[in-house]
Amino acid sequence: MNALPEFHYLRPATAADAVRMHAASPASHYIAGGTDLMPNLRRGLVTIGAAIDLGGVKELGEIVEQGNTLRIGSGVSLAQIAAHPVVQARLPAVAQAALGVAGPTHRAAATLGGNLCLDTRCNYYNQSEAWRAGNNYCMKRDGEGCRVAKKSKRCYAAFSGDVAPALIALGAEVEILGTEGVRRQPLLELYRDDGMKWLTLAPGELLVAVQVSLDDAWVSAYEKVRMRGAIDFPLAGVAVALRREKGVLTGLRIACTGVASQPIAIDGLDAVLGRPLDAAALATISEQADLANRSMKTTLVDALYRRGVSLVLAKRLTQRLWDAAV
């Protein structure tokens, strides 16, 4: 990797200060744990005029239980989330997803906001400057075309954050601060299916917190497949949230990561509600998961493998939660 480029360093005391600093320096980037941004800077994938360090913003680093809602600040580390007793007991998919990110030292530094806003990844993009130069670059950095889909006018780099699908399956909302004030929206709406413009955040907007309901009628789980048993990003990851009442499914949400340029929520699952989880229901879940999957050859393994793995995970987790929710 190359040496870090020169940039200014700013350290706000509040989230509002951070947004004002960004407005005064539009070429700046927010940084918290830095586990994604710093390697990308060294590889020449990102250029910045200033780094706005969010580590001193207390309001971003808190987990607060508010009635039947848990509010998790975007600056809370993944290690803190994975170890939090309320998350472990009532939002297990979130704890499992946070615990599955990278290695222990990464999780101690990496934050919720960083994982939710993780840069999309591709074999042709996440390389050194020398490698990219020797392979004629790609449209996500310095080139003109997508190396994955060569006739495409858009980038197919994949979103690989682990925590997003778990929170999406649990119906989480995000709190976003910009120069016009605070707004809230479903987490799913934070993303778009474009590897270069995967976030819907306006320039300078800051992800402040995530709010997720604490509804014990729902059970949840997250699982992923990766090349190694630790460190690696998911080739495919699936989160399932399920509600079982009187022997029938009354709620089912499934979300995936690693299979598109955004985390995806699987549609069409209402068709299996109001009946037991049987072979026909599992076949419908598999069919809908297959329709939603948009894997491309952005990793070391074939897209068809990632597609097949996501279907298996979706069915396996659904069956496991169904059996446990008696």
Is a pLDDT exceeding 80 seen at residue 6?
yes
Is a pLDDT exceeding 80 seen at residue 283?
yes
User: What fold does the segment set 1-53 form as a domain?
Assistant: 3.30.43
pLDDT per residue as tens digits for the range 127-136 = 999 999 898 8
pLDDT per residue as tens digits for the range 242-273 = 999 999 999 999 999 999 999 999 999 999 99
pLDDT per residue as tens digits for the range 287-301 = 999 999 989 999 989
Distance, first Cα to last Cα, the chain: 52
Residue/partner pairs of 275-281 with CB below 8 Å, 24 or more apart: 275/248, 275/249, 276/247, 276/248, 276/249, 277/249, 277/318, 277/319, 277/322, 281/249
Q: Band of the pLDDT at 211, cuts 50, 70, 90?
A: very high
Is a pLDDT exceeding 60 seen at residue 322?
yes
Is a pLDDT exceeding 90 seen at residue 151?
no
Handedness of CA 120, 123, 128, 131 (dihedral sign): negative
* pLDDT, average across residues 198-208: 98
Domain residue ranges in the chain = 1-53, 62-117+158-324
Quick one: pLDDT at residue 1? 57
| Whole-number percent of the chain with pLDDT over 70 | 100
Quick one: pLDDT at residue 152? 87
- Domain with residues 62-117+158-324, CATH architecture: 2-Layer Sandwich (3.30)
